[in-house]
Amino acid sequence: MIDSVVSKLQIIRYPPRYPKSVYLYITNECNLDCKKCYYRTPDDEKQQLSLKRLTPLFREWKKYGLTSIAIGGGEPLLHPEIFEIVELAKQMSFFIAVTTNGTILKPIKPNRVHISYDKLHPTWHCEKLIKRAIKYYKDLGFEILKNFFNPLDLFIDSFQPFHS
């Protein structure tokens, strides 16, 4: 019975055969301790992926045709090897994007910097902090794309008024 079911399955090879990008969570450490954070809780033990551990992963991903890596975490700029991780990935010709909460400013050199401001972060109401981060990364030569997101808007907007 199982053989007949398996024989009727068709595997469709849709290019690309492997994913072209990956989201890399390099640390769960963060300086904000947001109450609604789904990445970690303040009680979690600090965890990080080291450059030594990432190097063979990068080689394997390159072998399979991966082209881009989005680095995040907790707050990736707290990782002690963030400069080296970004540099190695760029040397291997990956497109690198780093997502930060914008409260820690470091002269990293990925292809793109994402400054995450949504209503889950306590930085949402601090216009001075937002402007400082945008200016800092703009001065480093990054194009700034503003993405201000309130996840509750999606939830609330999905409901229509009930009419009896």
Residue 37 falls inside a structural domain: yes
Residue 71 falls inside a structural domain: yes
What value does the CA radius of gyration of the chain take, rounded to a whole number of Å?
Answer: 20
Look at residues 94, 89, 75, 63 and name the one whose alpha carbon lies nearest to residue 32: 75
Residue 75 falls inside a structural domain: yes
Residue 159 falls inside a structural domain: no
Give the span between the Cα atoms of 79 and 44, in whole angstroms.
Answer: 16
- The CATH code of the domain that includes 43 is 3.20.20.70
Q: Both tokens of residue 8?
A: 């009727």
Confidence of residue 74 (pLDDT cuts 50, 70, 90): confident
Residue 9 falls inside a structural domain: no
Number of domains in the chain: 1
Tell me the per-residue pLDDT of 139-160, one tens digit each, with 9 for 90 and over. 999 876 655 555 555 444 444 4
Instruction: Indicate if the pLDDT at residue 7 is higher than 50.
Output: no
- Cβ partners under 8 Å of residue 79, min gap 6: 26, 27, 29, 48, 73, 85
Residue 156 falls inside a structural domain: no
Query: Do residues 66 and 18 touch, judged by C-beta distance below 8 A?
Result: yes
Domain that holds residue 29: 16-149
Mean pLDDT, residues 8-19 taken together: 58
**Mean pLDDT rounded to a whole number for the chain:** 79
- Cβ partners under 8 Å of residue 11, min gap 6: none
Q: Both tokens of residue 131?
A: 């402007």
Query: Do residues 97 and 114 touch, judged by C-beta distance below 8 A?
Result: yes
Tell me the per-residue pLDDT of 97-140, one tens digit each, with 9 for 90 and over. 999 888 899 999 999 998 877 666 666 667 788 889 889 999 99
Residue 160 falls inside a structural domain: no
pLDDT at 91: 97
Enter the pTM of the model.
Answer: 0.76
Residue 162 falls inside a structural domain: no
